[in-house]
Amino acid sequence: MDLVTVAAGDTIGAARRGVAAVLRAAGLETPDLDARLLVGHALGLDHAGLAAAAERLLRPDEAAQVAALTARRLAREPVTRILGRSAFWSLPLVVTADVLDPRPDTETVVEAALAAVTARQGGRDATRRIADLGTGSGALLLALLTELPAAFGIGTDRSVAALATARDNAVRIGLLDRLRLVACDFGTALDGGLDLVVANPPYIPSREIAALAPEVRVYDPHLALDGGPDGLSAYRAIAADAERLLAPGGVLVVEVGMGQAEAVAALFTTAGLVCETPPHPDLSGVLRAVTAVRQT
């Protein structure tokens, strides 16, 4: 199938198979899934709808829309950004150009945070104040608020546009009344007394950004990627403020890049926190979440 001229009169099933073949030939990792999502989005059909309509013929406008969306994917625009939505912790999130595309690895931070506060602060129904530093789409904050029903959350970000996206997601999920969004650099504008602080800060060393996949390098905001010369600049800022932000017994959980867990844990220890548990691995076995506690 010539992708640029997906033809009216092709069946939906044939269009989907053809798109998958072109994406596969381009070396994309999940061509069949991408094709299903792109064709479904173009036609307004979910997975079941695509299957049921597999023999229906495409109209000219539909063929043009399928071709246009697939051309964007061939240009390495992530499917989530083409669709304008992503799923994180089973939550449907709006994803805009102003925020990091939330990834499954970041769910490790949610898992580690829930394990830590449950072990140290009682059950999930306890009243807590939590903060997400550099909230972006609000993914971490919203996931934690769904799991901690008595918690109140604060999300911070340097980007006002990112905070607008987080607010939109909070409204859609029905959690706006349980959070506040603040424009500031990490926790600089927040008071102390927080029971839980989480963050997925920028951690890519500046010199390595040019080598990232186009899906990340081109489409994720640079502000959310660049971690400074060694990738640790954000962690130094968070560590310097952690003791002020956390209540006694408060927990800090951050996402880290590959090979950074030991260095980040050392920064937190130097700042007076205690890393009682080993870093949590993600599904690939990479140490992804570092947990630290303010003991006094």
96 annotated ligand-binding residue: no
149 annotated ligand-binding residue: no
203 annotated ligand-binding residue: yes
Distant-in-sequence, close-in-space partners of 206: CB < 8 Å, separation ≥ 6: 226, 227, 228, 229
Query: Which residue bears the tokens 């939906």?
Result: 12
Measure the CA–CA gap between 296 and 291, rounded to whole angstroms: 16
193 annotated ligand-binding residue: no
90 annotated ligand-binding residue: no
137 annotated ligand-binding residue: yes
CA geometry: angle 245, 273, 278, nearest 5 deg: 120
Judging by DSSP bridges, how do beta strands 151-157 and 179-183 pair with one another? parallel
DSSP 16-80: HHHHHHHHHHTT-S-HHHHHHHHHHHHHT--HHHHHHTTTSBPPHHHHHHHHHHHHHHHTT--HH
87 strand-pairing partners: 92
Q: Where are the beta strands (DSSP E) in the chain?
A: 85-88, 91-94, 128-133, 151-157, 179-183, 194-199, 246-255, 280-281, 287-293
169 annotated ligand-binding residue: no
Paired tokens of 37? 């999502």
Please classify residue 187 by burial: count the beta carbons closer than 10 Å to its beta carbon, then call 0-12 exposed, 13-18 middle and 19+ buried: buried
Give CA torsion, residues 90, 151, 294, 155, to 10 deg. Answer: 70
84 annotated ligand-binding residue: no
Measure the CA–CA gap between 274 and 279, rounded to whole angstroms: 12
200 annotated ligand-binding residue: yes
Q: Nearest 5°: phi and psi at 294? A: -90, 115
- List the binding residues for S-adenosyl-L-methionine: 134-138, 157, 186, 200
- List the binding residues: 134-138, 157, 186, 200-203
- List the binding residues for substrate: 200-203
